[in-house]
């Protein structure tokens, strides 16, 4: 098969493909396995009951069922859904928004794909010249436009979303050792350079993979910088506020006309409904809607129908605050205790402060092998984790830190997490005692 440049890019071996492949194989493997990789949310019986109730309500009314599911709907989302969400965000946070500030997409993964490709890459023409821009330099900025990730590591799922690796710029964090065996990444504002080629700034908050939650001050500074340079600030809130609110700090959500906020129904327990939400200026929403029509024709309505009454009543917020957040907080604290119990002897490690999402980010400081090699050895023992290397993209220089970390998902049942950790500790200690030189990836 002769592939186009696009075809080659999207069939290459990527971190996200490896991750989803591990997930797929795990789903059909009936043997003993410990799934600490992937981004699957935990199964919360209380949430499953809520969604089951909503499915029964949907199925019980034939008119609603047919109107909701037996029709193509808008490329921007069901009006009733986006209006209900706009009301909720306005009433809860005082944001000046209407339904015209909201677009629904088939998963927030797709939303970020469209946003990155709408903004980054080869520049388009100015509306006045209409000449297609491009190589002749008649485009809006001459050269390629890029997305700036002001703090790396960042979400693996962004890494391969544009045609060129050159479309991303990633900046190393400052590492604060906050306590014995604990650290926190902070944005290195002194290292941020907003050059003319920067088309947008992007962060996930809480951050996948680290569980970091950028502080209110960090977000305020990024917002100020973005506005001063007239570029949008993309904040991916797939784990954040107002739902599913897997946030353990005093962070507050931020939005204004220059912020593009991503939300998702996935971590509420509906990843298969593939429902992403973008809250942004009407201009960005219009652009996203046009791209969505080309890519997806219309938005899937299932997730919107499931969540709409809960958004209207505010139940989705109370479920997030009273059911989802405490579940993950408790699991995070328990998993950290196990890590300290299992690793303190023989392995030099540090875990990123667990401030949100459902990942723990472990940094091994004296491992003689790369964490990719550790991942490979763990896979042979049916433990799936994600090696750190995939989360460091857009960086000018290689950074050895990227080979020293792994991401663990602690959302799975306790026994599975505990046993998985025991095996990781065994393999890490074995590697340390072997003391061989770090093997290449």
Summarize as ranges the residues that interact with ligand PLP (CB under 6 A). Answer: 39, 107-109, 155, 157, 204, 208, 236, 238, 264, 266, 271, 276
Tell the residue number behind the tokens 């391969």, with chain if given.
Answer: 160
Phi, psi dihedral angles at 229 (to 5 degrees)? -105, 5
Residue closer to ligand PLP, measured from CB, 15 or 271: 271
Residue closer to ligand PLP, measured from CB, 238 or 324: 238
Q: Report in angstroms how near the CB of residue 155 gets to ligand PLP at its nearest.
A: 4
Residue 179: Cβ-neighbour burial (10 angstroms; 0-12, 13-18, 19+): exposed
Q: Report in angstroms how near the CB of residue 271 gets to ligand PLP at its nearest.
A: 5
Residue closer to ligand PLP, measured from CB, 84 or 238: 238
Q: Which residues is 201 bridged to in the sheet?
A: 148, 233
What's the rounded Cα separation, in Å, for the pair 81 and 300? 12
Helix/strand/coil (H/E/C) assignment for every residue in 84-128: HHHHHHHHHHCCCCCHHHEEEECCHHHHHHHHHHHHCECCCECCC
Q: 194: closest CA among 135, 141, 150?
A: 150
Residue closer to ligand PLP, measured from CB, 108 or 371: 108
Q: Report in angstroms how near the CB of residue 281 gets to ligand PLP at its nearest.
A: 20
**What is residue 217's three-state secondary structure?**
helix
Q: Report in angstroms how near the CB of residue 275 gets to ligand PLP at its nearest.
A: 7
Residue closer to ligand PLP, measured from CB, 203 or 374: 203
| DSSP per-residue letters across 46-73 | HHHHHHHHHHHHHHH-HHHHHHHHSS--
What's the rounded Cα separation, in Å, for the pair 191 and 170? 11
Q: Report in angstroms how near the CB of residue 48 gets to ligand PLP at its nearest.
A: 17
Q: Report in angstroms how near the CB of residue 234 gets to ligand PLP at its nearest.
A: 11
Residue closer to ligand PLP, measured from CB, 109 or 292: 109
């Amino acid at each position: 098969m002769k592939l186009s440049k696009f075809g080659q890019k999207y069939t290459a071996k990527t971190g996200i493909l490896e991750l989803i492949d591990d997930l797929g194989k795990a789903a059909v493997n009936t043997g003993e396995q410990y799934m600490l990789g992937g981004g699957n949310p935990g199964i919360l019986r209380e949430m499953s009951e809520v969604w089951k109730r909503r499915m029964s309500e949907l199925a019980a009314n034939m008119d609603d069922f047919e109107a909701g599911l037996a029709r193509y709907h808008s490329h921007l989302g069901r009006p009733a859904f986006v209006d209900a969400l706009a009301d909720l965000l306005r009433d809860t946070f005082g944001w000046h928004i209407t339904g015209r500030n909201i677009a629904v997409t088939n998963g927030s993964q797709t939303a970020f794909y469209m946003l990155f490709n709408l903004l980054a890459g080869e520049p388009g023409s100015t509306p006045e010249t209409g000449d297609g821009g491009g190589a002749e330099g008649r485009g809006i900025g001459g050269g390629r436009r890029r997305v700036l990730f002001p703090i790396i590591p960042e979400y693996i799922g962004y890494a391969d979303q544009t045609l060129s690796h050159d479309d991303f710029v990633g900046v190393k964090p400052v590492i604060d050792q906050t306590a014995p065996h604990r650290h926190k990444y902070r944005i290195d504002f002194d290292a941020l350079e907003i050059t003319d080629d920067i088309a947008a700034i992007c962060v996930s908050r809480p951050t996948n993979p680290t569980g970091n939650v950028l502080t209110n001050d960090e977000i305020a500074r990024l917002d100020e910088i973005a506005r001063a340079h007239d570029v949008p600030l993309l904040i991916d809130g797939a784990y954040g506020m107002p739902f599913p609110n897997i946030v353990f700090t005093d962070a507050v959500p931020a939005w204004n006309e220059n912020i593009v906020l991503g939300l998702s129904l996935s971590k509420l327990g509906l990843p298969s409904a593939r429902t992403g939400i973008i809250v942004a200026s009407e201009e960005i929403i219009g652009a996203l809607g046009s791209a969505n029509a080309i890519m997806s024709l219309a938005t899937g309505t299932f997730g919107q129908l499931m969540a709409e009454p809960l958004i209207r009543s505010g139940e989705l917020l109370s479920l997030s605050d009273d059911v989802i957040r405490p579940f993950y907080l408790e699991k995070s604290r328990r998993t950290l205790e196990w890590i300290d119990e299992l690793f303190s002897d023989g392995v030099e490690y540090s875990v990123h402060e667990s401030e949100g999402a459902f990942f723990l980010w472990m940094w091994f400081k004296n491992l003689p092998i790369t964490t990719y090699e550790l991942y490979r050895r763990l896979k042979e023992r049916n433990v799936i984790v994600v090696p750190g290397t995939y989360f460091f993209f857009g960086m000018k220089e290689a950074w050895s830190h990227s080979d020293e970390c792994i991401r663990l998902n602690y959302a799975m049942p306790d026994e599975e997490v505990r046993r998985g950790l025991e095996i990781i500790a065994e393999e890490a200690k074995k590697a340390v005692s072997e003391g061989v030189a770090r093997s290449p990836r």
